[in-house]
Amino acid sequence: EYCKEHSGSLPGRYTMLAVSDTGHGMDEETKKHIFEPFFTTREKGKGTGLGLSTVYGIVKQSGGYIWVYSEQKRGTTFKVYFQQVDAEVDENRGKVSEEIKSLKGSETILLAEDEEVVRDLIFESLKAFGYDVLKAENGKNALQVFKKNTDKLIHLLITDVVMPDMSGRKLAEKLENKSPSLKVLYISGYTDNAIVHHGILEEKVAFLQKPFSPIQLAKKVREVLVNK
């Protein structure tokens, strides 16, 4: 159905992830720009405008498609399509399987990301690699989630650098005071050089620039977790 309506898309078997809200919705002009970097409908200081462009990048890197339907005063639905992989054996399958196996883990990860679609994609990717994932929509919510899960050892915090109300750096500082062994991975649509230059982060922190594929994320997570 999607391929019939969108020229350039390849027919086949896909898995679809849908995210809907009942918010204000968007007009056609706004829809034309939503995947552009730094475009946002939020008021100043409430968002970076990088969330949907990041989602678009992740989906495209994974060979998928994204579709949006919106009605003003009714809400918006995003549908993300990922092509299913056939379980046929080929000469590279063994190598790929071994690589994926080496990237799996069972540690507990706290994820703080204010863009819902990005948060859900990262959450599902990490779960697929075996991790126990706790997710939060912002820094304050992450502190609450951490407090509610004191029975668990949280090994890693993955946090967006720029979030409303509390930055990723401030969140990391608060949680590191509570759990000195906690490791931190920062993510952002900005480059690490730009973030360091503006004093938002220090040099040599663990950082992954958006957009990234699930494999790139898994590799970075393992790298951060195994480093002393």
User: Where are the chain's structural domains?
Assistant: 2-83, 93-226
Among 47, 26, 46, 50, smallest CA distance to 36 is for: 50
| Pairing state between β 65-71 and 75-83 | antiparallel
Question: At the topology level of CATH, where does 2-83 sit?
Answer: Heat Shock Protein 90 (3.30.565)
Q: Note the CATH number of domain 93-226.
A: 3.40.50.2300
Q: What is the pLDDT of residues 169-179, one digit of tens each?
A: 999 999 999 99
Q: What is the pLDDT of residues 43-75, one digit of tens each?
A: 555 555 557 777 888 788 778 888 888 888 888
Quote the pTM value. 0.64
pLDDT value of position 84: 76
Query: Which SS3 state, helix, strand or coil, does residue 108 take?
Result: strand
Give the Cα separation of 5 and 160 in Å (integer).
35
**Cβ neighbours of 47 (radius 10 Å):** 17
* Fold agreement between 2-83 and 93-226: no
Q: State the distance between the two ends of the chain, measured CA to CA, in whole angstroms.
A: 50
Q: What is the pLDDT of residues 93-120, one digit of tens each?
A: 556 567 788 899 999 999 999 988 889 9
